[in-house]
Structure 1
Amino acid sequence: MYCTKKITSDLIWLGGSDRRLALFENVYPIPRGVSYNAYLIQDEKTALLDTVDQAIAERFFENLEHALQGKPLNYVIVNHMEPDHAATLGTVLSRYPEATVIGNAKTLPMIKQFFPMEVEGRFQAVKEGDTLSLGRHELTFVMAPLVHWPEVMMTYDTTEKALFSADAFGTFGAMDGNIFADEVNFEQEWLDDARRYYTNIVGKYGTPVQNVLKKAAGLDIQYLCPLHGPIWRENIGWFLEKYKRWSTYTPEAWTAAIFCGSIYGHTENACEILTSRLAEKGVRHVRIFDVSHTDVSEQVSAAFQCSHLVFASATYNGGIYTPMETLLLELKAHALQNRTVALIENGSWGPAAARLMAKHLEEMKGMEQIAPPITIRSAVKEEQYRKLEDLADLIAADIAAEE
């Protein structure tokens, strides 16, 4: 049975949520599930903006049929071709053979790659600034390449002042009836998932996101309609500011995140000494992440959030402890930059982790070491304890100077 929601009298949400999926993109844990949003504009002509993942196909088609109210579907606007938003596109085109497909020059080749059907004769290519009239509603197309695929575009409804933003401004999490961000406690219950979504899915593409934010600044946006997560109709500027920080790799919080790769607990002991001293110096919200037990997507999100990062690793097989190296590779892949960092290594007979971690950091922009690496041989002794205290003093003073 259908379950649609009206955003305005003409704009209808006809998405749904998947609470059974364990890993988004078969990589990222989503214990709260995920939503897939699609939208229909009712006017003299009707326009469907994106489709959904195959997981909720049945509900989507019930929603679409109900929302059309017997009218033909005139346009299918494809803002993003990733399968979680386009897996049902082929079925839509088969069920509604008179619908014209709207996309940009990079959209059509991807449609042909995914679906073995003829689409050229019903495809209308658009470019930056092109418009489409539905009657009362006029749509303007905004290109957003590499946010986060090369074919991505956004659609702006000048009548409703609604920006359909593709994967930008999305978040993990299933929606429970409340489809608007102002209907939920977004900052307390959704922001962590929004940050984790951005940093892991879009984080590498900071410059393209900045380009889109500049375009968005020139639009009067009353509704921000992403393909995942709640729709924004209030306090939109607050969320745009988060994207500005994330896309410019600017910390949200002046505090320290400690990433700990410990085998028998001695490296972890060093991290606990460091955090205890930081707390004594007045640094708040310090967190230790066990790299072996915390999903790397959460660690990437924390690294984007925090100003100071400490990487503490055992030496393992003559190299970096494996989960720690995975984290560093992920941070490089997501282009994290402009952080103050410190290194701690442990090794019973041949400490090497700090030197090798430093090589990874050298390949990242603006990663400045606040102090020489601290080397532990097996367990923390008085000499290392004093160095950890000194490191805490340096980090605390640096944070205080920036706050």
Structure 2
Amino acid sequence: MQYVNLSEDIYFLGYNDRRTHLFENIWPIPHGISYNSYIIVDEKIALIDTVERSFIDEYLESIEEIIGDRKIDYLVINHMEPDHSGALRAIVQKYPEITLVGNKKTFGFVENFYMEPEHLLMVHDDYVLELGKHRLQFQTIPMVHWPETMVTYEETQKILFSGDAFGSFGTLDGGIFDDEINLDFYEEESMRYFTNIVGKYCPHTQRALKKLAPFEIKMIGATHGPVWRTNLDWILSRYEKWSSYTLDDGVVIVFGSMYGHTEKMAEVIARRLAERGIKNIRIYDASKTHASYIVNDVFKYKGFIVGSPAYNNTLFPNVESVISTIEHLAPKNHYLGIFGNFSWNGGGVKNLKLFAERIKWELVYDPVEEKGTLKKDNKEQLLKLADAMADKLQAE
């Protein structure tokens, strides 16, 4: 990708990854992802974050195109995850006098991942680094989403270099800035990035948003996704909503089914919810849909209903995988329903009850469990479960 001016002497350096299938080797990225770095050319030159290691050669060439034979004075490390620090060693080798800039938690990661840093500058909240015309101020935002995470605020142009915060899945296909692209594409990719990567740390995100609120921000340069310069409220308002567990009325139904009996139960529940006026209903087969997409809707909708057959006296494995992911990310403020079936011995619903105890969501109705195919009595119980969920959602 070409480098692009954010202002006269501040440059975006970004690279599109369309080859990687799983981000962090967990989360599907069918639309790829970008790795974004930034460089400020002043009396002193500062590089802000680097890129994933597979782009090192092109990255070094782009830097040289911009600064020629000059040296880089500072490398600001907002976040040490290797998709942003992957070129760190190459940068230090090419510019051996460079000073690494980080907070008190940064340099342990540098040493553990790459090397013992020779030249370092330890910064803290409100510390200001003078480059000439440009002044960089630092604020730590720990656990958004690593403990060393910080942001860098460029005071002259009022640009927030935000690390992973306000980032997105999806490559940048020509458009770099938010006003050059159709944001409808990034609606799901931004949220899925947040829920999958940052969602576990919503209280920390809320603290970060409050900490950054006093700053006048005219542009946000994240390390993934578009640079925000026109529609800043588009991403800021969404981070506020997502991280405060503000949910829409709707129900996510997740099931596992070997021979269709549990799926039939899910369909009965869904039809009743629709009859009751619930319009946002999402049904997922846990064996087909990656948890990344299911979790995204769990962060959208207040109702969650999960069904599992017994499988070797326990949960159906793919359902177990989904609820394990949900427990790990720990979203709040949901209503819960449980159903399932078995052939000769239980285990599915029994373990979903344990999930209910651990996740601490409000159970709207007693779990419904069938032996074999769905029969009239338990169909009535499923309708009552759906009614109880609708009553809760419509009472708000």
Q: What's the TM-score once normalised by structure 2's chain length?
A: 0.96
Q: Distance in 2 between matches of 1:71 and 1:389?
A: 71
Residue number in structure 2 paired with 1:329 = 324
C-alpha deviation, 1:132, in angstroms? 0.6
| C-alpha distance in structure 1 between counterparts of 2:88 and 2:286, whole Å | 39
Return the letter of the residue paired with 2:367. Answer: P
Q: Are 2:219 and 1:223 aligned?
A: yes
SS at match of 1:198: helix
Q: Which amino acid counterpart does residue 368 of structure 2 have in structure 1?
A: I
Q: Unaligned stretches of 5+ in structure 1? A: none
Q: 2:333 aligns to what? A: 338
Is residue 107–residue 151 contact of structure 1 (8 Å, CA) maintained in 2?
yes
Alpha-carbon displacement from aligned partner over 1:84-108 (angstroms, at most 9, x marks no partner): 0001101101111222211111111
Amino acid at match of 2:258: I
2:72 is aligned to: 73
1:117-128 aligned at under 5 Å gives the runs 118-120=116-118, 122-128=119-125
Q: Is the 1:18–1:55 Cα contact (8 Å) retained in structure 2?
A: no
Q: Which amino acid aligns with 1:233?
A: R
Aligned residue pair count: 396
* 2:237 corresponds to which of 233, 237, 241: 241
Matches within 5 A, 1:273-284: 273-284=268-279
**One-letter amino acid of the counterpart of residue 273, structure 2:** L
Maintained 8 Å contact 2:309/2:349: no
Select the residue among 303, 308, 311 that pairs with 1:313.
Answer: 308
Tell me which of 294, 300, 308 is aligned to 2:295: 300
Distance across 1 between alignment mates of 2:330 and 2:390: 26
Match of 2:374 among 368, 376, 380: 380
Gaps of 5+ in 2: none
Q: Which runs of 4+ in 1 moved over 3 A?
A: none
Deviation at 1:169, TM superposition (A): 1.1
Give the one of 244, 266, 269 matched to 2:264: 269
Q: Is the contact made by 2:356 and 2:363 (CA closer than 8 Å) also made in structure 1?
A: no
If the length of structure 1 is used for normalisation, what is the TM-score? 0.95
State the match for 2:359 in structure 1.
364
Match of 2:175 among 161, 164, 178: 178
**How far apart, CA to CA, are the structure 2 residues paired with 1:182 and 1:317?**
53
Structure-2 residue corresponding to 1:91 = 90
Q: Distance in 2 between matches of 1:394 and 1:363?
A: 21
**Which aligned pairs between 1:58-207 and structure 2 lie closer than 5 A?**
58-116=57-115, 118-120=116-118, 122-186=119-183, 188-207=184-203
1:105-129 deviations in Å (ceiling 9; x for gaps): 111121111223x523x10100111
Secondary structure of the residue aligned to 1:119 is coil
Q: Which residue identity is paired with 1:298?
A: Y
Quote how far apart the aligned CAs of 1:349 are.
2.3
Secondary structure at the aligned position of 2:92 is classed as helix
Decide whether the 8 Å contact of 1:33 with 1:173 is kept in 2. Answer: yes
* Alignment correspondent of 1:214: 210
SS at match of 2:299: helix
**Contact kept in structure 2, 1:345 and 1:352, CA below 8 Å:** no
Aligned identity (percent) is: 39
- Which residue type is aligned with residue 295 of structure 1? H
CA distance in structure 2 between the aligned counterparts of 1:318 and 1:299, rounded to whole angstroms: 25
Counterpart-to-counterpart distance in 1, 2:359 and 2:393? 21
- Measure, in 2, the Cα distance between the counterparts of 1:144 and 1:257: 32
Q: Is the Cα contact below 8 Å between 1:345 and 1:351 reproduced in 2?
A: no
Higher mean alpha-carbon deviation, 167-176 vs 385-394, is at: 385-394
CA deviations 1:211-269 (Å, max 9, x no partner) are 11111211111111111111111232232222122222222x21001001111001101
Report which stretch shifted further, 37-46 or 69-78: 69-78
Read off the aligned partner of 1:248 and give its amino acid letter: S
Cα contact 2:369–2:378 (8 A) shared by 1: yes
- The one-letter code of the counterpart of 2:35 is Y
Structure 1 equivalent of residue 7 of structure 2:
8
Contact 1:103 1:124 in 2 (8 A): yes
Instruction: Read off the aligned partner of 2:129 and give its amino acid letter.
Output: L
Q: Which moved more, 1:239-248 or 1:127-136?
A: 239-248
Distance of 1:109 and 1:396 partners within structure 2? 51
Task: Output the CA distance in 2 between the equivalents of 1:70 and 1:223.
Answer: 29
Q: Are residues 1:257 and 2:252 paired?
A: yes
Q: CA deviation at 1:143?
A: 0.4
